[in-house]
Structure 1
């Protein structure tokens, strides 16, 4: 029996080598794409840019002349669609493009304004496409320019966007999340956004609103503070800093909000839809430039009330702004209606885009501050 088992194992290896490896390529025959960028040219062409890893620059670090080798190269090409541009890009390279390690898809603002629905089919249909790629919109610039920037810590920035979003306590937004939002009937995509800085680097700059009813075209951008509140409602933000003026104009205090929670309740009466948004969070005092002493219960209560009211007012204004100006449900309120009133949703979903701006939304925020930081009395009062 042992001989038979060994023989079967050998045969299995032979068969797998014959049938499974005939079309495999060696690593030195592949161009490993770690980041991709999509832009829209003035003459109506798709421009595809790929950040390709250069192994010699990563491993060796030094060339024969003593200089430092680049760890990546950015190659661009245009075409009628993404695959056409990719074919034109392949013509420039001596190695076969390999998409299995792509970790980021950057969308230039011009491409976002044109509408990104045209390339969704390729990323879903193409078996070589990586569904775990991050999706980020470039505010006020082109994707290829961001790809060309050398990162501070890593060999190439095509792999850093996930870490950067985690560093700001934002849940990474992958292509599968984008696809789910794009096909959902009760929410509109809200994508992270970056922009070029004066020092020719890039930084997180908030979020981009896309409207899938118009071909996933860019509607508007939210700044970083607005995006934090929107992501709090959608349960994509785990922590952020909030700062408020206190009793006098020159006094301010900052909290780090953590343990963020949200509860969305829907009430339908006839044709009237009401949504109750309840947000909760725990705050830690990280800077106190006021005369308030967080160690005193009365003054701590004042701090909690101040920040709860500030967050509540800001969130209410954000929701009204999105309803009236952008008319796109980035908060997923439609999905809440779907879950809580599945029968009514069958009728409501057909007109949800027109109904959303008219929905009555009430916001309640409760912030509790139990940690005054590493000191009790404000340092300002001790100087």
Structure 2
């Protein structure tokens, strides 16, 4: 019996070792695949235009010194439905389009204004596409135009966009890195609307499509992330400017690290926020919600061309108060946009009320957007400057003292 048990164990081990060699049912040889890194979706009339940025394997693997061809190519198809467009891509591609490595999907502004619900439904149903890629809106341009621009630091433009979103959202307050599932949740959520970061072409678009664009020190065209777009359900309503986008991220507790500055009589002081937290408190007064938005930040002085003594505790307190006032103004600017320009709740005030008092939320929900201008909202900020960087005063001040 023991010998039989030992034999069964050895057979089981052998089977487990052999299984990986057999491959899976959907395995493809690399030279049979066209690996898509970026998708662009536009709409003209009733037709969808699908663009896929495909890696050219030979150019990516080739010696970087003497590249003579673009590292990516762009396939475009037009069809009445996006599902058909995905399948129709095989008509113009000599390889099976492999979608599992998509890094970004870009919506043209015209499509976004018309509505993206049907597009999202198809993208989520498509089992060959993972759900961890970022989504952007191409401002005033078609998505396919954006995907034609060649980039410098990363030879695959979709990769560069993905990396830029990650870095910018962590270090600069006007950008938000939104993945497709975040967008879907934002559209489906009660009392909260979605936003997406915008994307523009900066420079000469035609030259940006040429290989010479990546051979110049100063590229003729670049892709630039461009603040936030505001949605009402699945339709793009409009855009926020840089200050309003920063205010949005403060209120939504999406600030990792960012920079700001204060202008005083003695000059300008720049500070870096290294930690930030936001809490939204809802009070119910006379059957109406009253909001208190509290932001607390930990910062350090990053630059000073000012003559003020930045080691003086009284001066530090003054700088903290000035920085806090500036954050409050950023938040108030975007609240003004929500209440009076767009009148849609992209700040999630309804969601905060729902968490506080679901019964009152259900009562106010049918006319919530119409009630936004009437809401009482108070903004508070507390800035704690712990460090003055690696030096205690500006070089200019030190020179004057010698």
Give the TM-score normalised by the residue count of structure 2: 0.86
Q: Where in structure 1 are there 5+ consecutive unaligned residues?
A: none
Q: How does 1:58-207 map to 2 (within 5 A)?
A: 58-61=60-63, 67-170=67-170, 172-198=177-203, 199-207=220-228
1:53 to 52, 55, 59: 55
Name which of 235, 243, 246 aligns with 1:217.
Answer: 235
Give the secondary structure class of the aligned counterpart of 1:231. Answer: helix
Work out which of the residue numbers 322, 343, 362 in structure 2 matches 1:327.
343
The residue matched to 2:269 in structure 1 has which SS? strand
Q: CA deviation at 1:262?
A: 0.3
| Aligned equivalent of 1:311 | 327
d(CA) in 2 for partners of 1:36 and 1:372? 45
Matched, 1:21 2:47: no
Is the Cα–Cα contact under 8 Å of residues 287 and 360 in structure 2 kept in the other structure?
no
1:270 aligns to what?
A: 286
State the alpha-carbon separation in 2 of the partners of residues 246 and 282 from structure 1: 20
Which of 241, 255, 274 pairs up with 2:259?
Answer: 241
Q: 1:12 to 1:307 in 2, by over 3 A?
A: closer
Q: Give the one of 30, 39, 43 matched to 2:33.
A: 30
Task: Give how far 1:368 is off.
Answer: 1.6
The alpha carbon displacement at 1:70 in A equals 2.5
Residues of 1 paired with 2:289 and 2:67: CA distance?
66
Distance 2:314 2:16 in 1: 75
What displacement does 1:55 show?
Answer: 1.4
Q: Would the aligned equivalents of 2:198 and 2:225 in 1 still touch at CA under 8 Å?
A: yes
CA distance in 2, matches of 1:306, 1:242: 11
Maintained 8 Å contact 1:192/1:207 = yes
Match of 2:74, SS?
Answer: strand
How far apart are 1:114 and its partner, in Å? 1.9
Task: Indicate if the aligned counterparts of 2:245 and 2:334 stay in contact, CA closer than 8 A.
Answer: no
Structure 2 Cα separation of the partners of residues 306 and 67 of structure 1: 52
Structure 2: gaps spanning 5 or more residues: 171-175, 204-219
Q: Is the 8 A contact 2:271 2:303 kept in 1?
A: yes
Matched, 1:341 2:385: no
Task: Give the CA RMSD over aligned residues.
Answer: 2.3
Contact 2:251 2:331 in 1 (8 A): no
Q: Is the 8 A contact 1:61 1:68 kept in 2?
A: no
Stretches (4+) displaced over 4 A = 8-18
Query: Distance in 1 between the 2:301 and 2:57 partners?
Result: 46
Shift of 1:59: 1.2
TM-score by length of 1: 0.90
Q: What is the distance in 1 between the residues matched to 2:367 and 2:90?
A: 45
Q: Distance in 2 between matches of 1:375 and 1:159?
A: 38
Per-residue CA distance 1:78-137 (angstroms, 9 max, x = gap): 111211222332210111111111111111212212221221110122212221010111
Cα deviation for residue 160 of structure 1 reads 2.6
Q: Deviation of residue 10 (structure 1)?
A: 5.1
Confirm or deny: 8 A CA contact 1:228 1:240 kept in the other structure.
no
Structure 1 pair 196/355, CA: closer, same or farther in 2 (3 Å)? same
Q: 1:25 to 1:377 in 2, by over 3 A?
A: closer
Q: 1:257 to 1:67 in 2, by over 3 A?
A: closer
Q: Are 2:43 and 1:40 equivalent residues in the alignment?
A: yes
Separation in 2, partners of 1:260, 1:346 = 32
